[in-house]
Structure 1
Amino acid sequence: MRTNAWLALIVVGMAIEGCSNPSPAAGSGTTPAAAGAEGTRDIEVDSQMVDCTGVGPQKCLRIRNNPQAEWELWYSGIEGFTHKAGMKYRLRIREEKVPNPPADGSSLRLILVEVLEQTPAKP
């Protein structure tokens, strides 16, 4: 009888936990910073994609937050954006947190909001 009482308490506790309200960001697919206008930022995209290795060999975008920053490789692409070789871009993007990202994938998704500038790269 005592074992059944403990089992009942555990089951009730699990049911109550499952019904509790998640934190505001949980399950929303966005980080608090990505909600609304605060979640947008401007980035530069280099004129050429470069060889990189993720799961296997691939091409990556080179992005940075400002002209003084070092270029960073971005493996996942930017939703809504098509890169054209030879063109440099300044983009306004929105970041969203990826719920349960794959082990070989990014925990962030970049989404194009607006192309601010598109200029031919200098030779």
Structure 2
Amino acid sequence: MKCELGMIVVGMALAGCSNPSPSAGSGTTPVAAEAEGTREIEVDAQMVDCTGVGPQKCLRIRKNPQAEWELWYSGIEGFTHKAGVKARLRIREEKVPNPPADGSSLRLILVEVLEQTPAKP
């Protein structure tokens, strides 16, 4: 019981260590105002080679237009990537309880496709 309580306390303490949101004084502007529990992201027009458990293709996403692209290994539930088409999405992030060691602690779920534009050659 003491061990379980200790793990809960440590987990709660770590949850308070997350990065601040872009609007919390970092000097960057979020993609757009976000509804509670959702956020907007951009998905690049091309998937790229990456390595997780083995070689695979990853999405490139970013949370604001000034940010660098990040690799997203897990896909976005409800979203099908179209090669050559850049997308702006409203997504919901959910924490994954007890994620596998090689998996993400977040799950992205499509709420709405806001915009899709063909990539410029």
Same fold (TM > 0.5) = yes
Write out aligned runs for 1:28-107 (5 A).
Answer: 37-107=35-105
User: Per-residue displacement from partner, 1:43-70 (whole Å, max 9, x unpaired)?
Assistant: 0000000000011100000000111110
Quote the RMSD (CA, aligned, Å): 1.9
Equivalent AA in structure 2 for residue 69 of structure 1: A
Gapped regions of structure 2 (runs ≥ 5): 13-34
Equivalent AA in structure 2 for residue 57 of structure 1: P
The CA deviation at 1:114 is: 0.1
Relative to its length, the structure with more helix (as a share) is 1
Higher Cα Rg, which structure: 1
User: Per-residue displacement from partner, 1:64-99 (whole Å, max 9, x unpaired)?
Assistant: 011111000000000000001000000000000000
Equivalent AA in structure 1 for residue 99 of structure 2: P
TM-score, structure 1 as length reference: 0.70
TM-score, structure 2 as length reference: 0.72
Secondary structure class of the residue paired with 1:91: strand
| d(CA) in 2 for partners of 1:92, 1:68 | 18
Report what 1:113 is aligned to: 111
Secondary structure class of the residue paired with 1:78: coil
The aligned length equals: 93
Secondary structure class of the residue paired with 2:114: strand
